[in-house]
Copies of this chain bind each other. A is one copy, B any other.
Amino acid sequence: MACEDGGVIKGNINKIVISTDSYTVKPIFFPGGDIGKLAAAGSINDVAVMGATPTYALDTVVVEEGFLVSDLQRIVKSMINVFKAENVRIISGDFKVMPKGQIDGVIITTTVLGVLDGEPILDSGAKPGDHVIVSGTIGDHGAVITAYQYGINPESEGLTSDCGSIVPVMKIAQKIGGIHAAKDPTRGGLAMALNEIAEKSGVSIWIDESKIPIRENVRALMEMLGIDPVYMACEGRVVLLVDPDKSEDIVVELRKAGYREAEIIGEVKSERPGYVIMETLAGGYRIVEKLRGELTPRIC
């Protein structure tokens, strides 16, 4: 139960971006993060990709009766640390317990409010000629969770989730400018994010498989499981559709700031609107279809 029933925000606010998500990831602790870190970063990222500065947060935690207090403390601490690092203030929350057996572990829902200076960055903003940038390797989070669910220990494979805030990436790119669309490729991965942008912007997006940064161990696991890594969720990456005059600068600055795998992976065209097309390593072209249904339950 919240102390007051809600939180109050005062100030002269013109535009607010707000996003909410429920996080059900299983397992709750994984290499590179936990459900608390994911819940904070995930909603921060949804606000940041729209060009806003995440400023306030609310959370609800629903746990199973008998859930370890030490685990709960660890998760909540982890969530708070992410919010603190981005100067996001938690203003209200809710906590509930469900009887044993009625919920598996814990579900966290976070809502993040961001203050927007200027116009929001929308999925519909991509323009023919734009370059497509990814801020780092793709599919790392998805690979970790998928490994667990197939009974493979991700740690012994050296897999680590990319779970984290993308605010620093957005700040660097926004400083340079020219961002026409931005999206964090979570459920459904890079494929889903690009398909949504292609559809909403009425353009096609052409990507070059040889340019997509993928960790060797992620690629190996995905080959073994027969899954294309472009469908694997990221939880700390962003795809940027940017003015071709700015793309090099953005990649250079991102690499300087430590995002060494940032890469231009493709471009936007006007023909065949709504499609995402990949030049494959084998040399041909194929349509990157949208995912129907979910590859991995409880990925985030």
A91–B18 CB distance below 8 A: yes
B46–A6 CB distance below 8 A: yes
Name which residue of chain B comes closest to A184, CB basis: B5
* Complex Cα spacing A114 to B102, Å: 33
A22–B91 CB distance below 8 A: no
Identify which of A16, A188, A298 gathers the most chain B CB atoms within 10 Å of its CB. A16
Q: Given that A50-B4, A62-B107 are known contacts, is A297 also in contact with B97, CB under 8 Å in the complex?
A: yes
Chain B residues whose CB sits within 8 angstroms of the CB of A92 once the complex forms: 18-20
Chain B residues whose CB sits within 8 angstroms of the CB of A26 once the complex forms: 102
Assembly stoichiometry (copies): 2
A96-133: CB near B (< 8 Å → 1, else 0) gives 11110111100101011110100010110000000000
B19–A116 CB distance below 8 A: no
Q: Given that A19-B7, A60-B22 are known contacts, is A102 also in contact with B103, CB under 8 Å in the complex?
A: yes
Smallest Cβ distance from A240 to chain B, in angstroms? 14
Contact of A15 among B9, B58, B183 (CB under 8 A): B9
Chain B residues whose CB sits within 8 angstroms of the CB of A65 once the complex forms: 297
A294 close to B (CB within 8 Å): yes
B17–A16 CB distance below 8 A: no
* Complex Cα spacing A10 to B19, Å: 15
Q: Given that A4-B123, A15-B9, A47-B5 are known contacts, is A107 also in contact with B184, CB under 8 Å in the complex?
A: no
